[in-house]
A and B are shown apart, each in its own frame.
Chain A
């Protein structure tokens, strides 16, 4: 009996636990992330990485919804906004502690995500995309007009939101005799959340509920005939995904210190960015969400920082592609140039590499395995 159990274990391990290579890779990334604030001495890039971390968390959520459950949503930005204002209201205005205001943000996101549930059940595919657009418009409208909570057009300050869990204060972090700035503390907070979300998502997708989500994505009738209630799992996917996005939105809000309402068009752009993140990183992979988020969050910043790389004359137009002199003489300003690149990246990946960077890694792995 004992022997049989052990063999079952080892069987289990080879079947669905990560191999040693994946373990080493994960360990290396964890160590790198832990050391980054010590190694990297730039508040600017630290801030970019905080955003990248928060975006990674939200992207993991979107990947659960879109990549694993097959529900396309252009409303993801709305959940970040909801989480952000929850941080502003419960954290900064009401002074609730970190865990509570983050949790409240997640709860608000979950509730609004759950409200989308009935639509997800009745409305399919393309119609659902427009329902998610509706969410963007309605959220923007509410944020602009619910002055007592959101500050309306004037916005709301989030910088006072408490950042401490017990003795650990991410706003003023001291570890092993080292002092960390607010950015660095937030960096740890953001990436801690990424770690938690990644583990949760990974555990879910490899067990019963995650398989059910993927079954619904691939063939919902067949799933139902096996006893998988697509209603229940779709709603759960919306709730889970939106609460992750809202939590991430709270982190972005404290990093930005101040929130003002976005136009729906801007919100749509952020939502598209999230779709681009999971497409570039790899649909239906967890680590792909993180890779995609880091790349696409860094892209505009890199362009802004290194504008001179793109400051060359374009034939026919006799203007530089992007002007680094600050005057608006370039064909594109840095912002619109990076937006253009987003668009081109999205098209390029969708057509050429629909499985994203994760797909590259997969091919690389097969190639290496074949060689050895």
Chain B
């Protein structure tokens, strides 16, 4: 297996004179689950947007397996094997669950307009193979009954799972999860944590997890990076991070024990 190390080196990002990320350095090891915590507005989502090419960092370099990602379009980043979810769901609401997952596999397929139009040969073969893969994923996520429903009609928790599934369908090397359990109840949170944990263990992919549920992050992550005001406070083992005085002061509060 090639090393899929994700390096974020001296990355800064500013919009309209407001600095959002300042000199962020972070190296995520292959197969690692890196948790990112920090108060709202600390720049966590902006960091994701910089990685996936939606924002262009004002300075610094982001690379995956020694290949530079900075400056690439979101499409090109996706083709390098980075998949993500969004903090506020970004599903294709009029399409059903299967089609949403199939869009995750877009980069793995080749059918173009011409072959699709006449529906034989590769178009048909590809469709069968990838639908098979998606239907396995649908079962894994417990969405079997809803596979043919437009995702816009599904409850919030299920939509969150569809979004995770869509990112997974891309068989990514690196998975960016932006608050996967935000707004979920305890049961749904637990279910999602289990899913993420088993993905991490079984598929051996690098995961970066932004989440406010610190208990969940501590439980899942190999290491945690704490961010505040666009700067990295500390990167360390989960227990070390949550007992870090600056982290407690800026984010966790004194009642955290």
Contact = CB atoms under 8 A, between A and B. Distances in A.
B112 A225 contact: no
A207 B123 CA distance: 7
B111 A207 contact: yes
A209 B131 contact: no
Contacts of B118: 200, 203
A9 interface: yes
A219 B91 contact: yes
Interface stretch (B93-101, B184-192, B206-214): B93-101
Interface string B69-85: 00001110111000110
Given A203-B123, A221-B90, A225-B78, A209 B52 contact: no
Q: Which residue of A9, A11, A227, A236 has the most chain B CB atoms within 10 A of its CB atom?
A: A227
Q: Which residue of B77, B110, B113 has the most chain A CB atoms within 10 A of its CB atom?
A: B113
Contacts of B64: none
Q: Which residue of A16, A211, A217 has the most chain B CB atoms within 10 A of its CB atom?
A: A211
Contacts of A203: 116-119, 123
A228 interface: yes
Given A208-B109, A221-B74, A224-B74, A215 B119 contact: no
Nearest to B52: A225
A218 B93 contact: yes
B51 to A, nearest CB: 10
Nearest to A204: B116
A305 B170 CA distance: 58
B90 A207 contact: no
Contacts of B94: 214, 217-218, 284
Interface string A144-174: 0000000000000000000000000000000
A211 B99 contact: yes
A40 interface: no
A12 B128 contact: yes
A225 B127 CA distance: 21
A214 B92 contact: yes
Contacts of B54: 221, 224-225
Contacts of A9: 128
B114 to A, nearest CB: 9
Contacts of B83: 225-226
Nearest to B82: A225
B166 interface: yes
Interface in A1-33: 8-9, 11-12, 15-16
Interface size class of B (residues with CB under 8 A): 35 or more
Contacts of B117: 200, 203-204
A162 to B, nearest CB: 26
Q: Which residue of A223, A236, A240 has the most chain B CB atoms within 10 A of its CB atom?
A: A223
Contacts of B112: 208-209
Contact of B106 (A11, A12, A200, A226): A226
B91 A210 contact: no
A203 B117 CA distance: 5
A212 B52 contact: no
B116 A226 contact: no
B107 interface: yes
Given A200-B117, A214-B94, A226 B131 contact: no
B132 A8 contact: yes
Contacts of A218: 91-95
B135 interface: yes
B194 interface: no
A274 to B, nearest CB: 21
Given A211-B106, A224-B54, 8 more contacts: A204-B113, A209-B111, A210-B116, A215-B106, A221-B54, A221-B90, A227-B107, A228-B103
Interface of A: 8-9, 11-12, 15-16, 200, 203-204, 207-212, 214-215, 217-219, 221-229, 236, 240, 284
